[in-house]
Amino acid sequence: MHFTMIERLRLDEPPTYQPRIPFEGPKSDGAPVDVESLIAKEESLAKTDGFRFVSISDYYHKYRSGALTPNEVAENVIRAMNDSEKLTPKMRAMIQWNEDEIRKMAVASTERFQQNKPLSVMDGVPVSIKDEFECIPYILRVGTSNIRATKGTVDATLAAKLRSAGAIIIGTANMHELGTGTIGYNISKYHGTPRNPYNVQHYTGGSSSGSGASVAAGLCPVSIGTDGGGSVRIPAVFCGVVGFKGTFGRFSAAGCAPLAFTVSHMGPLCSSVRDAAIVYGKCMNQSRLIL
């Protein structure tokens, strides 16, 4: 076959820029879901003598019982991120974080719990955001140092939803350069390659490489990534966490770098299936969940 023919091929029908498929399944009655009861059930399910990730429900119970505060969590996360950069090799799960911003969000969350007025089940929960989203006050680099970087002046919709729910955004997570790979390898002088928390000589998977690593390393139970050909699902597999690729348009792409609008899907990487369901309920475009 002569592949040069493809270059000269003329299509009468324009490409589909928004591949939306009308939903033809059964209609939901819109009944609200009580997420707090789901989290209460998880407490008994999670009891085990073996290893398990810290989940949203762990924060939920510790904060409400007073056994832990968002301030304490924030300090632990800041210390862990700083320590990760002193390792040889560096972990590079996270590429940007602002200690003052993290502490400011944590203080506000702690005060809400002291007043018994948390914003949602996500209040005080640490979350990372892939370096493909606008997120105040961080610079959007899209995993590369070869294009003009811009400092965000407004949050991407998903970042804004999590912030409004009281989540503590701990910074921006690393990614495969420009999202053009599935292993997470990054030679950008600014980013570097994120290391797999289980074995630093192994890849984390890409392109949401830092998102998978930040959850697997225990920095946060939730990270927001993107998936164009496996970029949420592959890091989830490599890092032993849960990746949820939403259907096209289910999660807002507003504020996400325009790398591949026709195939890119937003979605969370989480410590458990239940956490993924909670984030879905909080971040989907038209949520009827009680959060």
Catalytic hit among 130, 161, 245, 282: 130
The predicted structure's pLDDT at residue 48: 64
| Paired tokens of 133 | 């989203």
Condensed to tens digits (0 to 9), the pLDDT of residues 61-101 reads 999 999 999 999 999 999 999 999 999 999 999 999 999 99
In terms of average pLDDT, the best of 139-148, 166-175, 261-270 is 166-175
Cβ neighbours of residue 68 closer than 8 Å, sequence gap 6 or more: 59, 62
Residues 90 and 78: their CA atoms lie apart, in Å, by 15
* Cβ pair 159, 169 in contact under 8 A: yes
Higher pLDDT, 17 or 188: 188
Average pLDDT, the chain: 87
Condensed to tens digits (0 to 9), the pLDDT of residues 225-284 reads 999 999 999 999 999 999 999 888 889 999 999 887 778 899 999 999 999 999 998 876
pLDDT at 151 over 70: yes
**209 classed as catalytic:** no
**130 classed as catalytic:** yes
pLDDT at 14 over 50: yes
Task: Give all domains of the chain, ordered by start, each with its CATH number.
Answer: 33-40+53-283 (3.90.1300.10)
Q: What is the mean pLDDT of residues 184-211?
A: 95
Condensed to tens digits (0 to 9), the pLDDT of residues 102-130 reads 999 999 999 999 999 999 999 999 999 99
Q: Which of 229, 209, 180, 198 is nearest to 269 (CA)?
A: 209
Catalytic hit among 231, 264, 271, 272: 231
Longest dimension (CA), the chain: 70
* Cβ pair 204, 234 in contact under 8 A: no
Question: For the whole model, what pTM was predicted?
Answer: 0.87
Using alpha carbons, list the distances in angstroms from residue 95 to 85, 131, 205, 226: 10, 8, 16, 17
Region of poorest pLDDT, from 51-55, 128-132, 177-181 = 51-55
**65 classed as catalytic:** no
The predicted structure's pLDDT at residue 200: 95
Q: Which of 233, 130, 235 is nearest to 184 (CA)?
A: 235
Catalytic hit among 109, 120, 207, 214: 207
The predicted structure's pLDDT at residue 45: 53
